[in-house]
Every structure is written in structure tokens, then in C-alpha cells.
Amino acid sequence: MARHPAVAASTLALAVVLAGGCAGKEPDGSVGAAQGRDTTTSRTTTTSPAEADHPRGVIAFGHSALTGLSADPDRPQENSPKSSWATGTDPKVDSVYLRLVKVRPETQGSVANTAENGAKAATLPAQAEAALDQVPFPALAIVQTIDNDIRCDGSDAAHLPEFRASVRAAVETVHSASPKTTILVVSNFGSPAGYAKALAKDPVAVAGFADTDPCSPFTGKGTINAKGVATLTAIIDRYEAEQVRACAGIPVCHTDDGTLSGYTERLELLASDRQHLLAAGHAELAALIWPTVEKVLELP
């Protein structure tokens, strides 16, 4: 599962409490999931100049924040592709894809989401290839990563270069195949402080996340761990800075300048695993990011 901005090593403990010990494992049914795919095979596409010059559609790749994992309360720990804030088809979510269809009707049907639950940045290039197989010349490519790369064991700084290299490789994969595609690499949604404040209203969650982990949002006494929150916030900031560097020099590559990090988490919008969002939460993310999409796509 995606590592939420305030989820430390104690995630597994809470997963056991909330789901009888099975929530620590990811389901295999990711939207366009790459499980079992031969990622060593290069993508081959016959380029159509007309299509390349007039890209259309949306692709998205990254981790479980994109797959709609647990977004349906009746299907906990299952993906809900229709609920994805980026590519979902549920009108109540009004995803980025559906919003783009409204202003560019030719977008209809040109959508691919190859995000994988639990994915790290190293998988992004292969995910990008898979998405481009479905939509060779998208108008917009959305990338959401970071969570699962966070270690919070003192070694994150040493791994930042490889993280940046993986994001850069994915960006270059898209840009090389479809030079006119706009690429948007988004920030982590919410903040460790806001997440801890929301979870504090759930005694079961507090007990599950209370730990000695340097990034734990709660102390063993069940109070908010200000030091842990600050530590995780600083780590996320460093990963997000690497995303900016990964886009450098490619004019069509953008970050959201922290837009999604400004999301305000509320307990009632968190799924039962307390790490992912219900469909209503995905709807809020879509609404929050849409002005940024309008800007980078230069929509009227």
C-alpha cells in the first residue's frame, strides 16, 4: 500500500488491528497493474505525426493513491478504479480525466492508469511504458510517488539520488515517446501534522500508530508526536525537492508546487485502513488539483 505522509513503520500494526492481519498485503488488482508484466520488453509504437502533434487523453502512474484502493467502503483493501481522483469515471468524484473531457471532448475514452499498490519510484519507467501502450500520445501524464520510498531510518538522504533518477527516467520515457505531452508530478496529499490531527480522533488508529519509529505520528502515551511529525515532514520535503530536480530542463514537465500537500485530511474521508481516501476524498483531491491542471495545460 502507499505509504501515507504520516505513516511510519507502525503501519503494519494498525493494519493487523483494522483488518484481521491481512491488510499488510497488497491486492493484485491494481488499475492496469503490472504484476507479472515483463518490464524488460521495450514499447514499440508506430508514430502518427498527426496524433503526436495533437495529443489527447490522460495517463497516470505511481502508487495506490491513484488506484482508488479502499475508496469503496463496501470493498476495503480492493481497488476502485472508478474512484481515482486522476482517472476515475465516477461522476461523483469528477476526476481530472472527467473534467478534461468536459473541456476537451476528444479526451473521452483516451485514459490509462497503470499505478500499482505499494509501488516505489523504481517502477515508474515501466509503468509509464505500460500507460503509453494504451494511450500513446496523451495530453496529460500524472505521476504520484514518494510514499513507498520513504525509509525513515536515517538513510533517506542517501537514497534521494536514485529516487530522482527513477522519476527522471519515467519523465523522459513519456517525453521521448510523446514530446507534446504535459507531465505533472504531484506532491503528497495532506501533511503529517494534518494527518495526525485527523487520526487523533480514532483511538484504534492512535493505538495502532503509536510507536518508537522516528516518524511515528503518536507517542506510546497516545499523544501526537511533534518530533516524529517534524521528522517526516522534513523527509517528504526533500523527496519533493528531488521531483522538482527530476523535471528540470524539460519545459513540459511540471510539479504542482505543493498543491496536494495543502489538502486538509478529515477522519470521515479516510478509508478503514486509515491510509487511503474514500471516494469523497478523491473528489476533493480532483477539485484541489484542477486549477493546476488548467494552468499547465493552458486551458481557456
Per residue in 139-185, pLDDT tens? 999 999 999 999 999 999 999 999 999 999 999 999 999 999 999 99
Are the beta carbons of 135 and 111 closer than 8 angstroms?
yes
Which residue carries 525509509 as its cell?
151
Residue 11 pLDDT greater than 50, yes or no: no
As a whole number of Å, the CA-based R_g of the chain is 18
Query: Which pTM value belongs to this model?
Result: 0.88
Distances, alpha carbon 7 to alpha carbons 89, 229, 231, in Å: 29, 10, 12
Structure confidence at residue 204 as a pLDDT band (50, 70, 90) = very high
Residue 221 pLDDT greater than 80, yes or no: yes
SS3 content of the chain, % helix, strand, coil (to 5): 45, 10, 50
Lowest mean pLDDT among 23-37, 74-88, 203-217: 23-37
For residue 224, the cross-strand partners are 218
**What is the per-residue pLDDT for 18?**
39
Distances, alpha carbon 172 to alpha carbons 164, 267, 291, in Å: 12, 38, 25
Q: Give the mean model confidence (pLDDT) for residues 50-69.
A: 95
Burial tier of 42 (Cβ tally within 10 Å: 0-12, 13-18, 19+) = exposed
Taking the CB of residue 91, how many other CB atoms lie within 10 A of it? Answer: 10
Are the beta carbons of 296 and 182 closer than 8 angstroms?
yes
More confident residue, 51 or 110: 110
**What is the per-residue pLDDT for 48?**
63
Q: What is the DSSP letter of 133?
A: H
Lowest mean pLDDT among 18-22, 63-67, 151-155, 157-161: 18-22
Q: Give the mean model confidence (pLDDT) for residues 90-96.
A: 98
Q: Show contacts of 219-225: CB within 8 Å, 24+ apart.
A: 224/196, 224/197, 224/200, 225/196
